[in-house]
Amino acid sequence: MKLHILGCHSATPRSTVFPSSQLLEINNELLLIDAGEGMQIQLRKYKHKFNKIQYIFISHLHGDHFFGLVGFLSSLRLIGRDKPIHIYAPVGLKAIIELQFKLTKTDINYPLFFHELSSPESELILETDQYTVKTIPLEHRIYTNGFLIQEKPALRKLNIDAVKQYPEIETWAYHNLKRGKDFTREDGSIISNEKLTLPPPPAKSYAYCSDTIYKPDIIPLIKDVDLLYHEATFLEKHKDLATKTKHSTAKQAAQIAKQAAVNFLVLGHFSSRYTSEYLFVKEASEVFGEVDIAREGKTFEF
């Protein structure tokens, strides 16, 4: 997995930063998570291919998380896309997009599917051969979800040196070996799979926690993830504003990361009142050591 940051700031516009949007790369496939204004400009700037995106996940219907979506969908029409797009978002986004298309007489020439979300509980919303996506119910001023993306375990790797010790193991058997099966010899004896294969790399996981108050009950859902993105709109000295607007502080994000025993924490959605994002790292690192900030153009590999 690789996480590419397209935008990481809160709603107030600034000349050098963009609102929330990011790409999660899984084996050459791109998942778009939130689509703040200017998102497609950022895709162009950092040379991400539009047509690699098949699935889009929108956390909630505040503009700094989806105002870039209609422009992107329109551009796909102009570049001749014919593959489907699937959008997972709260109830209401479909009506917003369809009204925009209707009033601007925009015809979409590719299949567009909306999967509207309304459940207050975590649910499995997408399963492919390679990964699953579940919602992380958050608490903000309107209905909001985060998203948990988990790789499925990969196939085991052949230990070719070990396999070559047994001439009767032909290439037709390799697929079964990779899937963890033992090999049965002609005399009925068994060669255990562990002797012939190597373990696959550990499956990776990513949790995206968009706008939310400090919400410890998400901890079981994100336990032990490799990378956690958690909003940190405010510093602790403005905790009263975080409570009032239903956002989190950097310290609170770090407390979530620590209690969930995640491997690494990325902070984002910074308020424009602060002159340096590294103030957030300083505050969070006093609670949880493995922390960094999101920044446009930054990539996290894990």
Could you tell me which residues come within 8 angstroms of residue 96 by beta carbon, excluding any fewer than 6 positions away?
A: 61
What are the start-end ranges of the H helices in the chain? 39-45, 69-78, 93-103, 160-163, 174-178, 193-196, 219-222, 239-245, 250-260, 278-285
Nearest to 227 by CA among 19, 10, 9, 25: 25
Pairing mode, if any, of strands 197-198 and 205-209?
unpaired
**199-217 in b/e burial notation, b at 16+ Cβ within 10 A?**
eeeeebbbbbbbbbbbbee
Q: Which two tokens stand for residue 130?
A: 């390679």
Nearest to 260 by CA among 292, 302, 229, 296: 229
- Three-class DSSP category at 112: strand
**β partners of residue 4:** 23, 299
Backbone phi, then psi, for 27, in 5-degree steps?
A: 50, 55
**β partners of residue 5:** 22
Whether 64 is a known active-site residue: answer yes
Is residue 294 within 8 Å of 267, Cβ to Cβ? yes
Match 């509207």 to its residue by tokens: 116
Give me the count of residues in the chain.
Answer: 302
* Options 64, 82, 107, 240, the catalytic residue: 64
Residues belonging to the active site: 64
